Amino acid sequence: MSSRRLFLHKLTAGLATIPFLSWDEVPVLTEAVKVPRPLNVAIMGLGGYGTMVANAMRACKKAKLNGVISGTPSKISDWQTRYRIPEKNCYNYDNFDNIASNPDIDAVYVITPNGLHKDQVIRVAKAGKHVICEKPMAVNAKEGQEMVDACKKANVKLLVGYRMHFEPKTLEIIRLRKAGELGKIMFFQGLSGFTIGDPKQWRLNKALAGGGSLMDIGIYAVNGARYMVGEEPVWVTAEETKTDPVKFAEGVDETIQFQFGFPSGAIASCLSSYNISYLDRFFLSGDKGFGELYPATGYGPIMGRTNKGELSFLHVTHQTVQMEEMADIILNGKTPIVPVDGEEAVKDLKIMDAIYLAAKTGKKIPLK
């Protein structure tokens, strides 16, 4: 046998010993793809807004509702069924410190009355979980700073539910202002108001709300003035109007008008009210153009225009976008265009403290 034929004979004999594999049995060699895990969130406070956030999170890919904290057993049971929450991830206000040993919860979104925020946020931080707190973060700047300090000490992030900081038409006006397309900013107007209903609700309870319309909706104008103008105010004046002292008891403001002055010379004129409806407008004026949002802070869609025409962006549920962005901030260290951290909230609280002082004293209050 020639050497060539001997080689082929040995080769085919060797191949005969290799078992035949069907296509189903052939291993697929692919590069492993790491799928990032979502931020697992527990919601504390299962009321109307908590439900809105929970429903919005159904569309999230980066954030997942995975726990609940409530003082009402029937609500916990209902949410377990509706959102498929495991029993082991359900807590009440007495035992929620036990989340410390629960790896299924990364962060807690506190959506309870304002007066409860400080103690609840600090407890969550001590349990080693990140915190998202609905605005206003606290009832005054002192409490807000205590919350910031507690979260820093526990090495957890503290974010605040500033959903408008991610709204595209809002961000477009901010972009135009930063790009100089509006010129020198001269004036901002922020109007926030509606006629409040049930006089027994917690928003009209000083201990739980920390105030009245300013704490609830006036904060939009306070915060909006800062990010629209792009500066921190240096003085505040304010005046309160009260037509119903029974419904709006001492310490619960019905309507407040307030004004800011900024280092550049720009001024802001704002109003918040629980007794005037159809107020939801931001207007920013520069010497080369303007930006307007009306409605400016409602749940959507937001409507906007500038001196060059209408702003057109696809509306996505605000709370869905907010939770996606906050998951990125917590898990990946993303930096938002407009801050949403606890320090940002303390700045608002200091200004609101000054507004109340100005309304009480009738004096122009300087801001540090």
- Report how far residue 102's alpha carbon sits from residue 142's, in angstroms, rounded to the nearest whole number: 31
Write down the H helix ranges in 24-140. Answer: 48-57, 73-83, 117-126
Q: Which amino acid is at 159?
A: L
pLDDT of residue 35: 59
**Nearest 5°: phi and psi at 112?**
-125, 175
Q: Pseudo-torsion of CA 254, 255, 259, 260, nearest 10°? A: 40
Strands 235-241 and 275-286: unpaired
What residue ranges define each of the domains in the chain, with the CATH number in brackets? 39-163 (3.40.50.720), 167-316+341-366 (3.30.360.10)
Q: With both helix axes pointing from N to C terminus, report the angle between 219-229 and 168-178 in degrees, rounded to the nearest 10.
A: 40
pLDDT of residue 164: 98
Q: Please list the active-site residues.
A: 135, 220
pLDDT of residue 236: 98
pLDDT of residue 30: 45
pLDDT of residue 8: 39
**Coil vs helix vs strand at 118:** helix
For residue 251, CA distances in Å to 193, 208, 271 come to: 18, 11, 17
Note if the bond before 295 is cis, omega within 30 degrees: yes
Of the candidates 121, 127, 68, 65, the one whose C-alpha atom is nearest the C-alpha of residue 324 is 65
User: Is residue 186 within 8 Å of 158, Cβ to Cβ?
Assistant: no
CA geometry: angle at 102 spanning 99 and 103, to 5°?
Answer: 130
Instruction: Tell me the pLDDT tens digit for each residue of 186-244.
Output: 999 999 999 999 999 999 999 999 999 999 999 999 999 999 999 999 999 999 999 99
pLDDT of residue 249: 97
| 227, two tokens | 């990010």
Q: What is the mean pLDDT of each run of 10 residues along the chain (368 residues)?
A: 43 41 43 73 98 98 98 97 98 98 98 98 98 98 98 98 98 98 98 97 98 98 98 98 97 98 98 97 98 97 98 97 98 98 98 98 96
Residue 316: exposed, middle, or buried by beta-carbon count in 10 A (0-12, 13-18, 19+)?
middle
For residue 192, CA distances in Å to 117, 129, 224, 279, 298 come to: 23, 33, 11, 5, 10
pLDDT of residue 13: 43
User: Is residue 304 within 8 Å of 295, Cβ to Cβ?
Assistant: no
